[in-house]
Amino acid sequence: MNSRFDATTTTTCGYCGVGCRLDAHRVGGRIMSISPALDGPANKGHTCVKGRFAHQFTRSRDRLTAPLVRESGGFRLASWEEAIDRIADAFGRIKAEHGPDAIAGLASSRATNEDCYVMQRMMRAAVGTHNIDNCSRVCHSPTSWALRRSFGMSGATGSFDDIEAADVGLIIGANPTQGHPVVGARIKQAAIKGLKLITADPRRIELADYGQLHLGIRPGTNAALLNGLAHVVIRDGLVNESFVAERTEGYDAVAELVEAYTPEAVEEITSVPAADLVAAAHLYARSERGSILWGLGVTEHRYGSECVRLICNLALLTGNVGRPGAALLPLRGQNNVQGSSDHGALPDTFTDYRHVSDEEVASSFEARWGVTMKREPGMKIPEMFDAAVEGRLRAMFIFGEDVAQTDPNTEHVVHALESLDFLVCQDIFENETTKFADVILPASSFLEKTGTFTNAERRVQLVQAANDPPGAAKTDFEILTTVSRALGHEMGYDTPSDVMDEIAELTPRYAGISHARIGRRGLQWPVAPDGTDTPILYEREFELPGGRAQFAALPYKPPGDQADEEFPLILVTGRRLEHYNAGTMTRRTGNLTLMSSDSLEVHPDDAAALGVQDGETVTLRSRRGQVQLPVQITPRIEPGHVFTAFHFPEVRTNLLIGPSADVNTSCPEYKVVAVAVEPAGDRVGEPVGAGAATA
Classify strands 103-106 and 439-442 as parallel, antiparallel or unpaired. unpaired
Give yes or no for residue 686 having a pLDDT over 80. Answer: no
Per-residue pLDDT tens over the stretch 78-94: 999 999 999 999 999 99
Express each pLDDT in 607-648 by its tens digit: 999 999 999 999 999 998 899 999 999 998 889 989 888 777
How far is C-alpha 246 from the chain's CA centre? 34
What pLDDT is recorded for position 298?
A: 92
pLDDT interval class at 576 (50, 70, 90): confident
The answer to whether 51 and 37 have CB atoms below 8 angstroms apart is no
pLDDT tens digit sequence for 440-477: 999 999 999 999 999 999 999 999 999 999 999 999 99
341, 331 Cβ separation under 8 angstroms:
no
**Cα separations (Å) of 567 from 564, 598, 622, 633?**
5, 22, 7, 19
Domains of the chain in sequence order: 7-59 (2.20.25.90), 68-139+335-524 (3.40.50.740), 141-330 (3.40.228.10), 569-679 (2.40.40.20)
Which tens digit of pLDDT belongs to each residue from 470-527? 999 999 999 999 999 999 999 999 999 999 999 999 999 999 999 999 999 999 999 9
Mean pLDDT across 163-188: 95
- 60 vs 65, 281, 662, CA distance in Å? 11, 50, 38
Which band of pLDDT confidence, cut at 50, 70 and 90, is reported for residue 1? very low
Q: How far is CA 460 from CA 340, 451, 513, 520, in A?
A: 12, 10, 8, 10
* Position 67, amino acid: P
Q: Parallel, antiparallel, or unpaired: how do β-strands 328-330 and 626-633 relate?
A: unpaired
> Residue 679: its pLDDT value, please?
87
Q: Give the helix/strand (H/E) hosting 549.
A: strand 549-550
How do residues 384-401 score in pLDDT, each as one tens digit?
Answer: 999 999 999 999 999 999
Percent of the chain having pLDDT more than 70?
A: 95
Would the pLDDT of 2 be above 60?
no
| pLDDT higher than threshold 80 for residue 73 | yes
List, in order, residues 6 or more apart from 558 with CB less than 8 Å away: 220
Residue 692 predicted with pLDDT over 80? no
Phi, psi of 400 (to 5 degrees): 65, 30
List C-alpha distances in Å: 483 to 88, 109, 476, 477. Answer: 8, 20, 10, 10
Phi first, then psi: what are they for 569, rounded to 5°? -115, 160
Query: For the chain, what percent of residues have pLDDT higher than 90?
Result: 79
pLDDT number for residue 577: 58
Alpha carbon 318 to its chain's center = 28
Type of residue found at 431: N
How many angstroms separate the CA atoms of 582 and 138, rounded? 14
Give residue 418's pLDDT.
97
pLDDT digits (tens, 9 = 90+) for 244-291: 999 999 999 999 999 999 999 999 999 999 999 999 999 999 999 999
Sheet holding 196-200, edge to edge: 213-215, 196-200, 168-172, 290-294, 328-330
In one letter, which amino acid is 577?
Answer: L
| Predicted pLDDT of residue 207 | 97
- Taking only the tens place, the pLDDT of each residue in 4-63 is 888 999 999 998 999 999 999 999 888 999 999 999 999 999 999 888 887 887 788 999
> Would the pLDDT of 362 be above 70?
yes
pLDDT 10s digits, 515-572: 999 999 999 999 999 999 999 999 999 999 999 999 999 999 998 888 899 999 999 8
437 pLDDT above the threshold of 80 = yes
Task: Name the pLDDT band for 689 (thresholds 50, 70, 90).
Answer: very low
Confidence at residue 690, expressed as pLDDT on a 0 to 100 scale: 33
- pLDDT attached to residue 379: 97
- Phi-psi group of 514: left, alpha or beta (phi > 0 → left; psi -120 to 50 → alpha; rest → beta): beta
What is the pLDDT of the chain when averaged over all its residues? Answer: 92
